[in-house]
């Protein structure tokens, strides 16, 4: 695992995740009225980089289940659209562990490339793409068989990956070469790399699939890329060390967390103009937006807080105290709860979105590093 673990968040994926994510409501009682009705309990899966485990959390009760053993240094996680399988990226051994979400049993690890760091799954759920930072490759995995396909050469140090809503193209951020590589998912062929800024680290794609946005840590910019032409537009200046990015469900605004200036910059997508920076806590490290688009939640790594930002007014609300070194955040699909992984305290903090109140910390494993929630 890289030295960044002392203070930082994974290449987001998806996180979770991404990002992911691979991952906005003005807080208040009215928020609950706009969320989806509660159905079967969703499960939050937390990858614990320091204890080679994944912790499942029942989102209805906020109770942690038995830890699931995976591979060394799990740093990213993604869940298939049907919610049946969670795929965990194990950075140390260069593997991916599938977990059956019905039984919470881990399957046989799948060998990918060295130093995998990011993961994304196609909207049809048929293929998993894993970015291997150590070899400059991406490994596709067929979910029907859990078999890895031949690796695809991209740029240096791939750190993030995102897939268009139509599932036709995967875009891979190559931190070491300052580029983005498009991959045709039908043929698994890489296209010509697209030059962006120095040190690109995270990526997001607009809901309509027309534009890719890449945050460049070095110059503190965001580069828009047209998916129709794979041409980069002029970089948009945000703040120092643009470190995280999220787009509202309407696609009208991109929010960029600037770790070096303790701000969040809203960017209007129609004009590609940056708005006035919004002051948040110390070292904003991750960001997620509620399904109704009313609130952006910003993880402030050094101040141990989460700052809610009202997307209608672009005003920051009162900061919410969480655990030590909060790292990443994920929001339930019904929009009721945000979960924050605190790498320094080995816990996850649930936040009630209707009240912006933090609940009791949930014990996870050592260094909880990434979160994904079942659909």
Quick one: tokens of 192? 């010509």
**3 pLDDT above the threshold of 90:** no
Contact partners, residue 39, CB within 8 Å, separation at least 6: 334
- Angstrom CA distances, 60 to 26, 306, 352, stand at 22, 22, 12
pLDDT category at 40 given cuts 50, 70, 90 is: low
Domain ranges of the chain: 3-373
**22 pLDDT above the threshold of 80:** no
Q: What is the pLDDT of residue 365?
A: 97
Q: What is the pLDDT of residue 5?
A: 34
Contact partners, residue 30, CB within 8 Å, separation at least 6: none
**257 pLDDT above the threshold of 70:** yes
pLDDT category at 333 given cuts 50, 70, 90 is: very high
**Fold category of 3-373 in CATH:** Methylamine Dehydrogenase; Chain H (2.130.10)
**362 pLDDT above the threshold of 70:** yes
Quick one: tokens of 168? 């036709």
- The strand pairing partners of 153, in sequence order, are 137
Phi, psi dihedral angles at 3 (to 5 degrees): -65, -15
Q: CA-to-CA distance for 266 and 295, rounded, in angstroms?
A: 12
Q: What is the pLDDT of residue 34?
A: 27
**243 pLDDT above the threshold of 50:** yes
**31 pLDDT above the threshold of 80:** no
Q: What is the pLDDT of residue 41?
A: 72
Question: What pTM did the predictor assign?
Answer: 0.90
Quick one: tokens of 33? 């009225």
- State the average pLDDT over residues 250-271: 98
- Dihedral sign, Cα of residue 179, residue 214, residue 369, residue 265: positive
Q: CA-to-CA distance for 174 and 131, rounded, in angstroms?
A: 9
The distance of Cα 255 from the centroid of its chain, to the nearest Å, equals 14
Q: What is the pLDDT of residue 37?
A: 34
Positions of E strands within 193-241: 194-195, 200-205, 211-216, 221-226, 231-232, 236-237
Task: Specify whether the CB–CB gap between 358 and 350 falls below 8 A.
Answer: yes
Q: CA-to-CA distance for 325 and 346, rounded, in angstroms?
A: 10
- State the average pLDDT over residues 71-93: 97
Q: What is the pLDDT of residue 36?
A: 34
* Residues 279-314: tens digit of each pLDDT: 999 999 999 999 999 999 999 999 999 999 999 999
């Amino acid at each position: 695992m890289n030295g960044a673990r002392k203070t930082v968040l994974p290449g987001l994926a998806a996180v979770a995740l991404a990002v992911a994510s691979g991952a906005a409501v003005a807080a208040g009682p009215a928020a609950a009225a706009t969320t989806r009705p509660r159905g079967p309990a969703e499960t939050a899966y937390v990858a614990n980089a320091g204890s080679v485990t994944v912790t499942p959390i029942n989102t209805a009760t906020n109770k942690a289940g038995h830890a699931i053993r995976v591979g060394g240094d799990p740093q990213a996680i993604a869940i298939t659209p049907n919610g049946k399988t969670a795929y965990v990226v194990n950075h140390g051994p260069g593997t991916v562990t599938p977990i059956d979400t019905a039984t919470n049993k881990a399957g046989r690890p799948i060998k990918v490339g060295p130093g995998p760091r990011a993961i994304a799954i196609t909207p049809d759920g048929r293929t998993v793409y894993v970015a291997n930072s150590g070899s400059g490759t991406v490994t596709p995995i067929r979910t029907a068989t859990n078999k890895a396909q031949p690796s695809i050469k991209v740029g240096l140090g791939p750190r993030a990956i995102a897939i268009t809503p139509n599932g036709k193209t995967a875009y891979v951020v190559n931190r070491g070469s300052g580029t983005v590589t498009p991959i045709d998912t039908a043929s698994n062929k890489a296209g010509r790399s697209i030059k962006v800024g120095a040190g690109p680290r995270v990526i997001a794609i607009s809901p309509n699939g027309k534009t890719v946005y890449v945050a460049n840590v070095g110059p503190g910019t965001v580069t828009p890329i047209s998916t129709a032409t794979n041409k980069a537009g002029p970089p948009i200046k945000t703040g120092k060390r643009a470190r995280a990015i999220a787009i509202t469900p309407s696609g009208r605004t991109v929010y960029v967390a600037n770790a070096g200036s303790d701000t969040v910059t809203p960017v209007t997508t129609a004009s590609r103009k940056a708005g006035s920076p919004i002051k948040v806590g110390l070292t904003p490290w991750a960001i997620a937006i509620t399904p109704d688009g009313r609130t952006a939640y910003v993880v402030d790594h050094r101040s141990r807080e989460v700052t809610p930002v009202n997307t209608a007014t672009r005003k920051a609300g009162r900061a919410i105290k969480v655990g030590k070194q909060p790292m990443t955040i994920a929001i339930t699909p019904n929009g009721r709860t945000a979960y924050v992984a605190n790498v320094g305290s080995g816990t996850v903090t649930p936040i009630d979105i209707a009240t912006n109140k933090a609940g009791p910390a949930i014990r996870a494993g050592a260094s909880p590093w990434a979160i994904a929630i079942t659909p």
